[in-house]
Amino acid sequence: MRTQVAIIGSGPSGLLLGQLLAGIGIETIILERSSREHVLARVRAGVLEQGTVELLGEVGAAARLHAEGLPHAGFSLAFKDRLHRIDLDALTGGRHVTVYGQTEVTHDLMDKRAAAGLTTIYEAADVALHDFDGAAPFVTYGKDGITHRVDCDFIAGCDGYHGVSRKSVPDGALKTFERQYPFGWLGVLAEVPPADHELVYANHERGFALCSMRSTHRSRYYVQCPQDDRVEAWSDDRFWDELRRRLPERIAASVTTGPSFEKSIAPLRSFVAEPMRFGRLFLVGDAAHIVPPTGAKGLNLAASDVRYLFTGLRDFYAGKSQAGIDAYSGKALARVWKAVRFSWWMTTMLHRFPDTGEFGQRIQEAELDYLVQSRAASTALAENYVGLPW
């Protein structure tokens, strides 16, 4: 089998890149380790920057997003039993974010790919990358007991943090940067109306809490928990009680409780791998970087990586130049590190750290007090939250 770009991974990165390339007639094949159902069963954040929405529109996968997504012109910070709205619209000259589940983004992109008759091999086993340091890379994978080979011009490693692509890079060719946070997020989905019309990020001495949503009738909540905590230790009642203890009275009173239909604990880490290109292999999205979800940047960083790589490949195949693919890693990393910094800053400002105690709590409250009283500081927060320029 032969294609132009072999894409590893059928998450947002791989699917979005595949659709953009298909739009200019570049052939791709996506090799996905899991089943379609398994990919769609993942629950992930869904706060989309305008650039991401526009990119989804460019590939014709934004109809449901525009119909069902929730435009948000602001969000609130809660601390010392008070609520402070960050007016994104006023602070950024009219920019906003859209709340729309990442699972839905993935679903919409999968439907577009299938409708165009493009090839995705699900349950592709033992995907392996070969000769990407030369001009004739290829990928092998197992399916139905047979090992298949795909010859290609380029390989896009869109296979996430645990994927094979980054691990295929020769030792010593990669520099990684990592910070593991000393806590996790316990997340709950429930078919109940959200506590507020926008998101609420809460700093509290008992720990961080977040009030989010998937729609006007489906809510997503998180509370900070110990790294080694177990979901089994959290009944719904315990979760709702702890959540409300961490929220200002006005918001706590607005929380509608109900049975959770999804409950999970996720670790928090910051991770960056440099560079993001090795010959004919490009690392994209979570394969190259991970941010704590506090800044809701994961999906949006994947989108900007894809945009940069797409324009480089477009110019290469148009016979223009290699400049775009040569510049990909540097350009992507410049934006990645700004988002990594913002996500780290939001995380350190809002969470309870075991080693900083009451002094650390007072410092966080002082920073939050300054933030909500200073237009300059709020503007800096708002600019990063809606997304820095691509």
- Closer residue to ligand PHB (CB): 214 or 244: 214
The 8-class DSSP code of residue 147 comes to: E
HSE (side-chain half, CA atoms, 13 Å) at 264: 12
Q: Which of 14, 74, 137, 207 binds ligand APR (CB under 6 A)?
A: 14
CB of 49 to ligand PHB, least distance (A): 12
What span, in angstroms and rounded, lies between the C-alpha atoms of 319 and 306? 20
The footprint of ligand PHB on residues 271-310 (CB under 6 A) is: 293-294, 296
Strands 28-31 and 119-121: parallel
Annotation says 293 is catalytic: yes
Q: Specify the 3-state DSSP secondary structure of 3.
A: coil
Does residue 302 touch ligand APR according to CB under 6 A? yes
Q: Which of 45, 186, 301, 325 binds ligand PHB (CB under 6 A)?
A: 45
Q: Which of 6, 33, 53, 273 binds ligand APR (CB under 6 A)?
A: 33
- Closer residue to ligand APR (CB): 164 or 190: 164
Q: Judge whether 76 and 200 are in contact, CB under 8 Å.
A: yes
Does residue 348 touch ligand APR according to CB under 6 A? no
- Closer residue to ligand PHB (CB): 208 or 308: 208
Does residue 211 touch ligand APR according to CB under 6 A? no
Select which of 12, 72, 112, 248 is catalytic. Answer: 72
Q: Judge whether 117 and 125 are in contact, CB under 8 Å.
A: no
Does residue 212 touch ligand PHB according to CB under 6 A? yes
Annotation says 297 is catalytic: yes
In sequence order, the 6+-apart residues with CB closer than 8 A to the CB of 374 are none
Annotation says 141 is catalytic: no
52 binds, among ligand PHB, ligand APR, none (CB under 5 to 8 A by kind): none
- Closer residue to ligand APR (CB): 29 or 192: 29
Nearest to residue 1, comparing CAs of 122, 146, 140, 126? 140
Nearest to residue 55, comparing CAs of 91, 90, 98, 94? 98
Q: Which of 69, 184, 285, 312 binds ligand APR (CB under 6 A)?
A: 285
Q: Which of 8, 26, 31, 47 binds ligand PHB (CB under 6 A)?
A: 47
The amino acid present at 379, given as its one-letter code, is T
* Helical residues (DSSP H) of the chain, grouped into ranges: 12-22, 36-40, 50-58, 63-68, 88-91, 102-115, 236-245, 249-252, 298-317, 323-350, 357-373, 375-386
Q: Specify the 3-state DSSP secondary structure of 203.
A: coil
Q: What would you report as the CA-atom Rg of the chain, rounded to the nearest whole angstrom?
A: 21
Select which of 221, 289, 293, 308 is catalytic. Answer: 293
What span, in angstroms and rounded, lies between the C-alpha atoms of 45 and 62? 17
Nearest to residue 356, comparing CAs of 222, 97, 181? 181
Q: Which of 286, 329, 331, 342 binds ligand APR (CB under 6 A)?
A: 286
The footprint of ligand APR on residues 37-56 (CB under 6 A) is: 39, 44
Question: With CB under 6 A as the contact rule, which of the stretches 40-48, 142-150, 276-284, 370-378 interacts with ligand PHB?
Answer: 40-48
Q: Specify the 3-state DSSP secondary structure of 160.
A: coil
In sequence order, the 6+-apart residues with CB closer than 8 A to the CB of 250 are 83
Question: With CB under 6 A as the contact rule, which of the stretches 255-263, 273-281, 298-306, 332-340 interacts with ligand APR?
Answer: 298-306
Residues that bind ligand APR (CB under 6 A): 8-14, 31-34, 39, 44, 102, 124, 127, 158-160, 162-164, 285-286, 298-299, 302
Residues that bind ligand PHB (CB under 6 A): 45-47, 199, 212, 220, 293-294, 296
Question: Which amino acids are annotated catalytic?
Answer: 72, 201, 293, 297, 385
